[in-house]
Amino acid sequence: MLCNSASLTRRVAPNSDLKEAAMFFDNPFKIRMPHDDEYLPGRRLSIFAGGAHAVLGNELLPPFPDSMQQITLGLGCFWGAERLFWTMAGVYVTAVGYAGGRTPHPSYEEVCSGQTGHTEVVLVVFDPKKIGLGHLLQTFWQAHDPTQGFRQGNDRGTQYRSAIFAFDQAQLDQATQSAHIYQNALTSVGYGKITTEMALVDTFYYAESYHQQYLHKVPHGYCGLQGTGVACPG
């Protein structure tokens, strides 16, 4: 489910384009990752206490059934991205959070500062007997523009970078292969190089409760998902 035009309104409406541009360029962490001495310290304990998925009903925190697999995907603002995956048959549970950086248990405001190194991601827990990783990856590629670097549409900054964080080497290998396939499709119609970060997951940090299943709670809220219109070959 990509977003309709009404839900593509900016996540935080600026007073003017000039003010937005000044805020963007005055913050160096919108266009680069922090240096070693620039990361925020974070905290020792999680900011998320747990609970049931507002749509699927399953618990958001592990342990999950042994038969399930997990993948963590970043494709811009996590509100619309989470809804995209919870609607797919075979998905057991989804949760939004932060990954790819260094700050432990960051808050949303800390992630927005750019000084955590994290990007907004969706944890997708799925039943491989009902939905394959390949289908999830196809959906991932087609739902955003993976060539945009530190931005996704109207959302700019390192926290919106495209990312795949795999839970084992087999997943990472499959993700890498799917990227090569989609790169060929994108190149054939004039798109640039895929900038998606791909790595084994280090730690997934749950976001605050109000972010979880946000577009179920606020059905007409902001959704930044916009694909390229280029199909990902199966």
Q: What confidence tens digit (pLDDT) does each residue in 189-209 have?
A: 999 999 999 999 999 999 999
121 pLDDT higher than 70: yes
Sign of CA dihedral 77, 80, 152, 198: positive
pTM: 0.92
Answer whether 99's CB lies under 8 Å from 201's CB.
yes
Question: What residues are labeled active site?
Answer: 77
Cβ neighbour number for residue 70 with a 10 Å cutoff: 19
State the amino acid at position 155 in one-letter form: D
10 pLDDT higher than 90: no
DSSP state of 73: E
Query: Domains along the chain?
Result: 42-217 (3.30.1060.10)
Per-residue pLDDT, 169 = 98
DSSP state of 31: T
Per-residue pLDDT, 11 = 52
Helix (H) or strand (E) holding 129: none
Per-residue pLDDT, 182 = 98
User: b/e string for 195-219 if b means 16 or more Cβ within 10 A?
Assistant: ebebeebeebbbbeeebbbbbbeee
* Cα 52 → chain centroid: 20
* Among the ranges given (24-38, 60-74, 125-139, 144-158), the one the predictor scored with the smallest mean pLDDT: 24-38
Q: What confidence tens digit (pLDDT) does each residue in 76-86 have?
A: 999 999 999 99
